[in-house]
Amino acid sequence: MSEVRQESTSSLQRKKPPWLKLDIHAPMGAAVAGSALEAPDLPAEHQHAVAQILRPQIANPKYVTNNPTLTTVALEKPFCTFDGSVSKSASYEVHLYVMVDSATTISASVMDNGNKSLGATFEQTHGGKLGPYKAATFNVPHCTSPPKLSDIADVAKAPAVLTQYLIRVGDDSACLYDPNLQEACNPPLSEDTSYRFKFVLVDRITDIVKDQTLWSDPIKTSKLKPSSSIDIWPGQRSGGMIAVTFVLSVLTLVVAAAFLAAL
């Protein structure tokens, strides 16, 4: 987690707030740098430059130790990613799209013909197998006042910081069975499957896609090992046990021999 490396990666990193820069782990920094290299040289006036070469990132493992789990993936919310595309007059929200990783994912679009965002659900896409589905909708995170991660240790502030910082894909185990559900359903993912994620900036009123990130690198949900596979053989005997057995056997022999001799 050297700061030097972070400094040298890319100027894009500096657009992130300082707390993100410090806490980014190495692979994440590398991924961002890689995507920056791949991206064509965009003209300075191009407003979408930042978001379109960034990818959604998995939450910092220092704070979220159990990630990805069997059925959930916790992602960092896109802080400052959409800054260039937000105009003051309109109100926006961010949609999160999820798709099972496959050869066609990179090119999969989350817009329909009228540039509106797709409304596909988990069920319609068979859990993301057929195409991206909308998993969640949330407000655009504040770039100016990002949550302080050190505040998580404070019990009073923790719930707020966690919701501001994280979006947990697969968080809602009940929504599939809720007939009155209006919003996007975010049911548990399948285990041992690679998923890709994408954040999309959408105009709240017209539902038109203003900006989007790249599809994330594939993130694989974990897999259970059968507990019957645990080998319980104790392996090598400890020296103490050998010593005890040996010395006691010898002593017993000596005593018994002496006793027999005395008879």
Partner 1 sequence: MLMQLAGLALYAESVWVTADPYKVYPILGVSGKDDVYAGAWISIFTGFAFFCICVFGIISLVRGNRLMVLLYLVLILVVYLFECASCITAYTHRDFVVSNSNLVTKQMLTYYSADTHQGRELTRMWDRFMMEQQCCGTNSPMDWVNYTSVFRGRYPEVVAPWPFYCCKRDPNFIILNEEGCRLGHVDYINTKGCFDHIKHAVDSYAWGVSWFGFAILMFTCPVVLLVIYHYTTM
List contacts with partner 1 (CB under 8 A). Answer: 62-67, 69-72, 74, 152-153, 155, 158-159, 162, 166, 168, 170-173, 188, 222, 224-228, 230-238, 240-241, 244-245, 247-249, 251-252, 254-256, 258-259, 262
Residue by residue, DSSP assigns 32-88 as HHHHHHHS----TT-TTHHHHT----BPPTTT-SS-S-SS-EEEE--TTTTGGG--T
Q: Which CB atom, from 4 or from 262, has the smaller least distance to partner 1?
A: 262
Q: Which CB atom, from 161 or from 201, has the smaller least distance to partner 1?
A: 161
Please give the Cα distance from 1 to 191 (Å, whole number): 30
Task: Tell me how far, at minimum, the Cβ of 122 lies from partner 1, in Å.
Answer: 14
Q: Which CB atom, from 88 or from 223, has the smaller least distance to partner 1?
A: 223
Task: Tell me how far, at minimum, the Cβ of 8 lies from partner 1, in Å.
Answer: 29
Task: Tell me how far, at minimum, the Cβ of 76 lies from partner 1, in Å.
Answer: 13
- What single-letter DSSP state applies at residue 131? S
> Residue 159 corresponds to which amino acid?
P
**Angle, alpha carbons 232-234-240 (nearest 5°):** 160
How many CA atoms lie within 13 Å of 22's alpha carbon, on the beta-carbon side? Answer: 6
Task: Tell me how far, at minimum, the Cβ of 59 lies from partner 1, in Å.
Answer: 8
Q: Which CB atom, from 49 or from 152, has the smaller least distance to partner 1?
A: 152
